[in-house]
Amino acid sequence: MRPISERDYSDSLMPSGGGFRLSPAHIIPLSFLLAIAVGTLLLLLPAATAEGAETDFLTALFTSTTSVCVTGLVVVDTYSHWSPFGQVVILILIQLGGLGIVTAISMVMLFLRRRFSLRNRTLLLDALNLDSRLGLTSFLSRIFKWTFLVEGIGAVLYSIEFIPRFGLAKGIWASVFTSISAFCNAGLDVLGPDSLRGYASSPLVIFVTMTLIVLGGLGYIVWFDVGRCLKDGVRLRYTPRQAVRRLGEHTRLVLRLTLSLILLGAALIFLAEYRNPATLGGMSTGDKIMNSLFQSVTFRTAGFYTVPQEGLGPFSCMVGYLWMFIGGSPIGTAGGVKTVTMFLVFANAISYANARKTTTIFRRRISEELMQKAAAIVAISFFTMLVSALLLLAFEPVSLTDGLFEAISAVATVGLSRGLTASLHTAGRIIIIATMYLGRIGPISMALFLARPKPGKNGVTCGEGKFYVG
């Protein structure tokens, strides 16, 4: 595929045949809205609700939003409130939200062997935040292939634990649901009212869940780059060090950041919660280490938990605020502002403090446009989180700790809660619904709006102003 030029991009967004065509910056948010609307209508059907339960519009809307935005905050228990049909609807919404609506539509086009127009390619490149030089069709095919393969392996591994516990039919369904939800970083489950608290001493469930969460959060670019290096390493008989050195700079950065955040977060939680009877205090040392690792992983985007979040101490909550806000890595299923985005903001600050004109990582220069995009994403996400927290504190009788925890969890599409979500009133639920949606599409939309420089009106360039900061 040849690179897409600025003229191609502009032409693909122009009105055609007298009708106006929406840009990707509008299509992507609208596609999420459409999926949420359809999901809400399906969940309002009597067949979607379990016998003896009732579903009002706001509950259906909240559940559809949390599923499509792969957040995990819930106002009713997924396992008991929704019928098998309702749970299937939720799982489909999770898969669509995890892959991205535009990507999922493209999957159907690939299966139907429909050709991608220039406009389709442009939209997908923007939705996936990809470089136009990549082979789009091949990249999408590999995404679907490896997504379903990893989710399938996860379901098989879960079934070792869940089938003996729940029986064949329910065990298989619980395995499939949990695998897809974990890989998509959704945090929803059909295991019971307490997420994975009943499996806090099960290495199989804990490590399979962590692996799925991390794989989904690494991003597809990292997957394929690591796969390429492994394949080349075997074929050309590279040493491990030689193979690692052939990884792309993005992959190396993501792997280092991910490992550092997991280990640092686990160490901080282990130390802070070691004697806390409400969380890790009553566990063996081995379980404390395992659950500290799990809490560090799930803090960053997953929404599953093995210890009650309302039992976490103030220090652990502060760690959670930062880890949730950072989230996973780009071009994956995770939420948050993304590891690389946050790293670029800090790297730029360090470069400025050291009077460097450019920021370099692995001897590669970071473009000014990319720096501006990273700063915009962090600023918009922080502003959204702040407004959401203030609104919650204004309309709901909640503490600052719980309100801030809920707001960050929603804007970063994490799904962890300190027992607040189900007790929210109408105003609080609407605030969280809006926050989850903005958290899912806000950074994407901002990146699209800022992705290409727009000339001033009539091509006039303004003179430089004199301002002061600091």
Q: DSSP string covering 337-402, please?
A: S-HHHHHHHHHHHHHHHTT-SS-EETTEEPPHHHHHHHHHHHHHHHHHHHHHHHHHHHHS---HHH
The percentage of the chain sitting over the pLDDT mark of 90, rounded to a whole number, equals 53
Angle at 287 between CA 198 and CA 324, to 5 degrees: 75
pLDDT band at 314 (very low <50, low <70, confident <90, very high): very high
Q: What is the pTM of this model?
A: 0.85
Most confident stretch, 138-142, 219-223, 239-243:
219-223
User: What sign results for the dihedral spanned by CA atoms 159, 163, 168, 174?
Assistant: negative
pLDDT band at 223 (very low <50, low <70, confident <90, very high): confident
How would you classify residue 247: left for phi > 0, otherwise alpha for psi between -120 and 50, otherwise beta? beta
Give the model's confidence band at 124: pLDDT under 50 very low, under 70 low, under 90 confident, else very high. Answer: low
What are the φ/ψ torsions at residue 3 (nearest 5 degrees)?
A: -60, 145
16 DSSP β-pair partners: 19
**Residue 98, Ramachandran bin (φ over 0: left; ψ between -120 and 50: alpha; else beta):** alpha
Work out the angle between the directed axes of helices 368-395 and 314-326 (0-180°, nearest 10): 130
> What's the angle, vertex CA 369, arms to CA 258 and CA 442, rounded to 5?
65
**CB distance 140 to 104 below 8 Å:** no
Q: Which of 251, 118, 65, 33 is nearest to 126 (CA)?
A: 118
SS3 82: strand
Please state, in angstroms and rounded to a whole number, the distance separating the CA atoms of residues 309 and 305: 8
Rounded to whole angstroms, the Cα distance separating 88 from 312 reads 33
C-alpha to C-alpha distance for 406 and 392, rounded to whole angstroms:
9
Q: b vs e for 137-161, b when ≥16 Cβ sit within 10 Å of the residue's Cβ?
A: bebbeebbeebeebbeebbebbbeb
CA 67, CA 90: separation in Å to the nearest integer?
6
Residue listed under structure tokens 């006039």 = 460
Span of 125-139, 305-319, 331-345, 362-376 with lowest mean pLDDT: 125-139
- Binning pLDDT at 50, 70 and 90, where does residue 240 land? confident
Q: What is the mean pLDDT of residues 264-276?
A: 96
Average pLDDT value for residue range 73-82: 93
Residue 19 bridge partners (DSSP): 16
- Kindly give, in sequence order, each residue whose CB lies less than 8 Å from that of residue 302, ignoring residues fewer than 6 positions away: 72, 182, 185, 187, 209, 213, 414, 415
Instruction: Give CA 441 to chain center in angstroms.
Output: 11
Say yes or no to pLDDT of 136 above 90: no
pLDDT of residue 180: 95
Out of 46-50, 140-144, 271-275, least confident range: 140-144
Q: Count of H helices and E strands in the chain? A: 19, 2
Q: How large is the average pLDDT for residues 98-127?
A: 60
Instruction: Find the length of the chain.
Output: 470
pLDDT band at 17 (very low <50, low <70, confident <90, very high): very low
Instruction: Give 133's DSSP letter.
Output: T
Nearest to 345 by CA among 406, 257, 465: 257
Q: How far apart are CA 349 and CA 343, in angstroms?
A: 10
Half-sphere exposure of 326 (CA within 13 A, CB side): 27
- What amino acid occupies position 77? D
Q: How many CA atoms lie within 13 A of 61 on its CB side?
A: 12
How far apart CA 410 and CA 408 sit, in angstroms, is 5
Q: Among candidates 95, 22, 1, 32, which has minimal Cα distance to 443?
A: 32
DSSP H or E run through 67? helix 57-68
